[in-house]
A and B are shown apart, each in its own frame.
Chain A
């Protein structure tokens, strides 16, 4: 898996032009995935609501297309769909999420694109689990350096909804 990711990133970067921007991002994510829970056997469905900050790097291929990668550290809570031995279905949760995005600019202030995420989620006192997500993103340029992104998709390719909001400051 690591080799494949490395290969993907190598090809990804070679394809890109030199024009690039750094971003600082504040994020809010909500999704559902199956997680390991202490006191319960197997995996249990959980609804996660996490927020946090991250950094991103985007390349401008031309006036229309942009490619980028970002990383986030998120904290929040997970609401289990079953009751664990802790006798509360709400658990503290954290996640590290990496993403790759391809964005197409439609107009001067509006762009849309796709975002793929790779995340490592942890609930309090349980082992880490990994997930993949795919989002459709709508991005607004609020001014030349601040962008707001709304995304909707799914995590783990399940039928459940995942959504995210991101406010980005370019440097």
Chain B
């Protein structure tokens, strides 16, 4: 039997998560495509094959190849198979952004968001025990370059390293440095339901995560002690709980809670979300939640309310219309600042291992101060997943 079909069959007992949008293809869980429980990081063998055979366009590349061939060639060295105990991977993400896009004062910038190398070592053929780690290069952001070298963030960082144990068919245990499990985890780490909540690109934490799922329910409990490479004063120590229920017909609903504190700040988060694939390649996602912060210096709690919506509409294999809308109400009072961001763009997978995003974003603010003109931003991203 062919390589990728073998993998597909061997993993078919798992719940599946890919990009959360891909619920419209029937993939409801991140673990089918990723080694992590909540998505992100390296793709596993099934994820590689799925990337090539389900979502990558065939307009320019691989026109004459069968799906089986494309799946076979999705490995790190193409069709050359590697030992089952060795799974390297590489991920690159670059962003070009033009702020005030239609103004004479427009500024352009290129940002290298991610250049991570991964090494995953399944310790047995059934992948009951797995070790995984990453190392990545991240240039010091321009705004921090004026700081003394000792205060600048490290340029070489590891965003994850963990040990995974599959304790039973439905139960997984993770130990190590990981993303916190909370809400809908999608690719835009600057969104209101990611970066704003302290769940951004560099907000991983050391801890232990227990993940259980069956055909209907998913539960995850995550205890964490902060990122031990950070100053102890800012490490957030606490836990999160995540659950999701399969309503059937590619529709899930879920809830998440998170509570943590450091020496300077207490944080509480609550979210409700739904993901709905209403036709193949067509999905809507919505998350609403509350963000409560209490600086220990003031003892004053501020609670904000956020909404995140995303629609993904495939019009042809590999090419999708991407729409987003998000709002954040910072205090939920009559004097709140309410930020809204509306976006429309394209999410494309034109070549194997390649993702391209191009978006036009409108930012609008409502407050008790005189309104300023909307801010328009044009941006394009390229992601390479090798």
Contacts and interface: CB of A to CB of B under 8 A. Distances in A.
A108 B370 contact: no
A161 B362 contact: yes
Interface string A127-169: 0000000000010111100001010100000001101010000
B364 A47 contact: yes
A85 interface: no
Contact of A160 (B276, B311, B340, B374): B374
B373 to A, nearest CB: 8
Interface of B is mostly: strand
Contacts of B290: none
A141 B313 CA distance: 12
Contact of B278 (A88, A90, A109): A109
A65 B376 CA distance: 34
A64 interface: no
Given A49-B340, A79-B366, A163-B342, A142 B371 contact: no
B325 A165 contact: yes
Given A30-B340, A77-B366, A161-B342, A108 B279 contact: yes
B325 A90 contact: no
A51 to B, nearest CB: 11
Contacts of B369: 83, 89
Contacts of A82: 370
B311 A80 contact: no
A141 B366 contact: no
B244 to A, nearest CB: 19
Contact of B371 (A46, A141, A161): A46
A165 B309 CA distance: 11
Nearest to B323: A150
Contacts of B338: 49
Given A110-B313, A142-B276, A81 B370 contact: yes
Given A161-B342, A165-B325, A140 B282 contact: yes
A45 B374 CA distance: 12
Interface residues of B, number: 27
Contacts of A148: 284
A110 B279 contact: yes
B282 A109 contact: yes
Nearest to B338: A49
Given A150-B311, A165-B325, A141 B370 contact: no
B366 A49 contact: yes
A160 B374 CA distance: 8
B367 interface: yes
Contact of A140 (B284, B362, B367): B284
B66 interface: no
Given A152-B344, A163-B342, A83 B370 contact: yes
Contact of A80 (B276, B279, B370): B370
Contacts of B325: 163, 165
Interface string A78-112: 01111100001110000000000000000111100
B281 to A, nearest CB: 10
A31 to B, nearest CB: 10
- Counting chain A CB atoms within 10 Å of each CB, the highest count among B278, B313, B323, B338 belongs to B278
A89 to B, nearest CB: 4
25 contacts: A32-B374, A49-B340, A77-B366, A79-B365, A79-B366, A80-B370, A81-B371, A82-B370, A83-B369, A88-B368, A89-B368, A89-B369, A90-B367, A90-B368, A108-B279, A109-B282, A110-B279, A110-B282, A110-B313, A140-B311, A142-B276, A142-B284, A161-B342, A161-B364, A165-B309
Interface of B: 276, 278-279, 282, 284, 309, 311, 313, 323, 325, 334, 338, 340, 342, 344, 362, 364-374
Interface of A: 30, 32, 45-47, 49, 77, 79-83, 88-90, 107-110, 138, 140-143, 148, 150, 152, 160-161, 163, 165
Nearest 3 Cβ contacts at the A-B interface:
A79-B371, A79-B366, A109-B279
Given A30-B364, A47-B374, 4 more contacts: A79-B365, A81-B372, A89-B369, A163-B342
